[in-house]
Amino acid sequence: QVKPQGGDALAFFDGELQFQASRRLLLAHELRDALADDQFELYFQPQLVHPGVVMGAEVLLRWRHPARGLLGPYEFIDFAEESGMIVAIGEQVLRKACRQLALWQQQPARAQLELSVNISARQFRQRDFVQVVQGILKETQIDASALKLELTESMLVDDFDHVVSKMQQLQLHGIRFALDDFGTGYSSLVYLKRLPLYQLKIDRGFIDDLLRDENEQAIVRTIILLGQTLGLEVLAEGVENAGQLKALLQLGCYHYQGFHFAKPLPLAEFEQFLQQHLATLHRL
Ligand code: C2E
Ligand code: MG
Ligand code: MG
Ligand code: MG
């Protein structure tokens, strides 16, 4: 016989739900404030090409929370996506990135730098996504071939022709596309071939075990070969040590980013990194 649920259990459940709901409400308010008060900051993680030339950076979002300090995307990006606020946040990130490119493109020593910006599925899915990006390009007047947009496999489950058409419209401006976290999703190879991609980013989960696990190594080798076959640039993310770098070079992957070179850096530190790095290269 089933006992009737105790009142206490229900009360607890209610309390927990209420707690969750009020937390979400608070976060929603805080994110709106963050947008209005300019609390989002871009961090820049250097991206290099063998033998160590800095091509540019991946833009990674940070939230300078007034009470909780500097927060990484894992603290808020899922909620921003669910609540739809990622659309406005993502637009701000893109605008800031393009403004930065505009500044660099006026300086001969930095004019060649490229930025890679993460685009959320919800943001890409917006009906006016292409128009928004075009507006930012017009506003900032950048050479858009310095801009790469990082998409994920999760976007490809949508109306495929529609996705391709959006990419093509942006490609006309010179924008290039990377497929982020490659290997973790379910993209069919047929689709992959039809997408106007420029770069495949090997998920850092595979790089992590590269030296320990032969299966992992076989996967990475396969991804690199696949990229080469499709004429794509292949970049490894999450390179943390010299051993991993060596293994990647042996497998034919010459583009990389990771803590072995630099963590995501605030602008001033990224620019410092560029200069120090250039000095080291000249000494080689
Ligand atoms: P992602 O695009 O795959 O970015 C790479 C993540 O790996 C970054 O985490 C980066 O700091 C981290 N990483 C890079 N090298 C290493 C390494 O050598 N070792 C380790 N352990 N980690 C490394 P982060 O900055 O916390 O960003 C997490 C995710 O949040 C990103 O993954 C991306 O999916 C999302 N994200 C970040 N910025 C944005 C944004 O502006 N818009 C959107 N929609 N998503 C963003
Ligand atoms: Mg990324
Ligand atoms: Mg990634
Ligand atoms: Mg990711």
Average pLDDT, stretch 17-31? Answer: 89
Structure tokens given for 94:
């893109």
Percent of the chain with pLDDT over 90: 78
Rounded CA-CA distance 171/185 in Å is: 24
Strand, helix or coil for residue 49: strand
Rounded CA-CA distance 179/153 in Å is: 7
The pTM for the full model equals 0.93
DSSP secondary structure letters along 51-116: TTEEEEEEEEEEEEETTTEEE-GGGTHHHHHHHTTHHHHHHHHHHHHHHHHHHHHTSGGGTT-EEE
pLDDT in tens, 111-167: 999 999 999 999 999 999 999 999 999 999 999 999 999 999 888 777 889 999 999
- Residue 7: per-residue pLDDT: 60
Ligand that comes closest to the CA of residue 119: 1
List, chain by chain if needed, residues with CB within 6 Å of any ligand 1 atom. Answer: 45, 60-61, 72-74, 77, 86, 90, 93, 118, 120, 150, 180-181, 204, 237-240, 257-259, 264
Whether 2 shows a pLDDT value over 90: the answer reads no
pLDDT in tens, 43-71: 999 999 999 999 999 999 999 999 999 99
Identify which of 60, 237, 263 to mutate to test ligand 1's pocket (most ligand atoms within 8 A of the CB).
60
Ligand that comes closest to the CA of residue 178: 2
Q: Which residue has the tokens 């990135």?
A: 97
Q: How far is ligand 3, taken at its centre, from the CA of residue 264, in Å?
A: 13
The alpha-helical segments, DSSP class H, found in 209-258 are 214-229, 242-251
DSSP secondary structure letters along 247-266: HHHHHT--EE-STTT---B-
Q: Of ligand 1's atoms, which has the minimum distance to the CA of residue 43?
A: 25
Pick from 196, 193, 256: nearest CA to 220 = 256
Partners of 177 in the β-ladder: 149
Cis peptide bond N-terminal to 73, omega within 30: no
- Residue 1: per-residue pLDDT: 52
Rounded CA-CA distance 117/214 in Å is: 32
| Residues with Cβ–ion distance below 5 A, ligand 4 | 181
- Its ipTM equals 0.98
- Residue 156: per-residue pLDDT: 79
Q: Of ligand 1's atoms, which has the minimum distance to the CA of residue 203?
A: 3
Strand, helix or coil for residue 118: strand
Confidence band for 284, pLDDT divided at 50, 70 and 90: low
